[in-house]
Amino acid sequence: MAEAAPKKKKIPFSVKFAILCVLVTAALFLPTTLLFCGCLVPTVVAFIIDPHPQKTAWVTVGCMNFAGTVPAWMLLIGNGASSGNHIDQAMSILMQASTIIMAYGGAAAGWLIFNNVTPLVSGLMVMKNEKRLKDIDKRQKELARKWGPDVSTMG
């Protein structure tokens, strides 16, 4: 008996159309695309190396990386208004040390936030929940004292 070949997943038309739109937009705004491709490398790296199943590191790193890239983008847009927003201007801005320092520094700030704030918030949540459990236990003991031990048993 011959086994059936595994079926390939069919990509929906909406996904194909979205990819086409992104590619056309990237081609139309090629200088901006080049600038972002050079500056947002840490975001791609964060997505690739994040071992967690939810892959949330890239969001934090990406937002801060984007924030560090915006000044260079504004410089490109400002230059583009007067002289056409050319690829050589994008490459010139991208090759400046200040551009890379701001963009990659923003990504570093994103890593700091991800590695320090996330554990801090989760620790605070654990402390809050432990306090809540202690309060519930205290309340349950108070009710048992008032109404007898049968109040605190389930069922």
Q: Give the mean pLDDT of the chain.
A: 89
Is 141 a member of any domain? Answer: no
**Number of neighbouring beta carbons within 10 Å of residue 61:** 27
Q: What was the pLDDT predicted at 66?
A: 97
Which long-range contacts does 14-20 make (Cβ < 8 Å, 24+ apart)?
none
Is 17 a member of any domain? Answer: no
Q: What was the pLDDT predicted at 3?
A: 62
- Per-residue pLDDT for 91 more than 90? yes
Question: Mapped to the 3 state alphabet, what secondary structure does 64-77 carry?
Answer: HHHHHHHHHHHHHH
* Alpha helices by DSSP H, 29-153: 30-39, 41-49, 57-83, 87-94, 97-147
Is 10 a member of any domain? Answer: no
Q: How far is CA 95 from the centre of its chain?
A: 26
The position carrying tokens 């909406």 is 14
Is 152 a member of any domain? Answer: no
Is 22 a member of any domain? Answer: no
Q: Characterise 84 by phi-psi region: left (phi > 0), alpha (psi -120 to 50), beta (else).
A: left
Is 96 a member of any domain? Answer: yes
Q: What was the pLDDT predicted at 2?
A: 57
pLDDT in tens, 110-143: 999 999 998 899 999 999 999 999 999 999 888 8
pLDDT in tens, 38-55: 999 999 999 999 998 898
Percent of the chain with pLDDT over 70: 89
Is 68 a member of any domain? Answer: yes
Q: How many domains are contained in the chain? A: 1
Is 14 a member of any domain? Answer: no
Domain that holds residue 99: 30-118
On the CB side of 2, CA atoms within 13 Å amount to: 3
Nearest to 107 by CA among 40, 73, 52, 61: 61
